Amino acid sequence: MKIKRGDVVIILSGKERGMQGRVLRVDTKSDRVFVEGRNIVKVHRRAGNGQEAGIISKEASVHASNVALYSEKLKRGVRVASRYVGKDDALFESKREAMNSFSEPVAHVAKVRYCVKTGEIFK
């Protein structure tokens, strides 16, 4: 999944379409994300374990296909691809190319999300 906790996303479909918010939680097993202040539902809770009974408002999940990363440059949602960071912060499509760009062998190269249209890097 290309969405991570803390990302700013824009909702693409549903009653919250066009709204943006920060990702609170990501559920990778069911491909769902929880967006701060969006998709609010009312939960009727029974008293128990030191909690009071009542109606509580909380965020429900949104499927990951219905959100996109928000680009500050374009002011809209964008698609991203994976790239690897090599020597002098150059971006490479494969891990091997990024590792070979260094003169000495390195143990690890960073993987980043890259917007092809704008050139933005999402860490």
At 50 the pLDDT is 86
Q: Over the stretch 73-88, which tens digit does the pLDDT of each residue have?
A: 999 999 999 999 999 9
Q: Over the stretch 92-120, which tens digit does the pLDDT of each residue have?
A: 999 999 999 998 988 899 999 999 999 99
How many angstroms separate the CA atoms of 99 and 87, rounded? 8
How many angstroms separate the CA atoms of 74 and 8, rounded? 14
How many angstroms separate the CA atoms of 36 and 54, rounded? 22
Which domains can be identified in the chain, with CATH numbers?
A: 1-78 (2.30.30.30), 79-123 (no CATH)
Q: Over the stretch 89-99, which tens digit does the pLDDT of each residue have?
A: 999 999 999 99
pLDDT at 5 over 90: yes
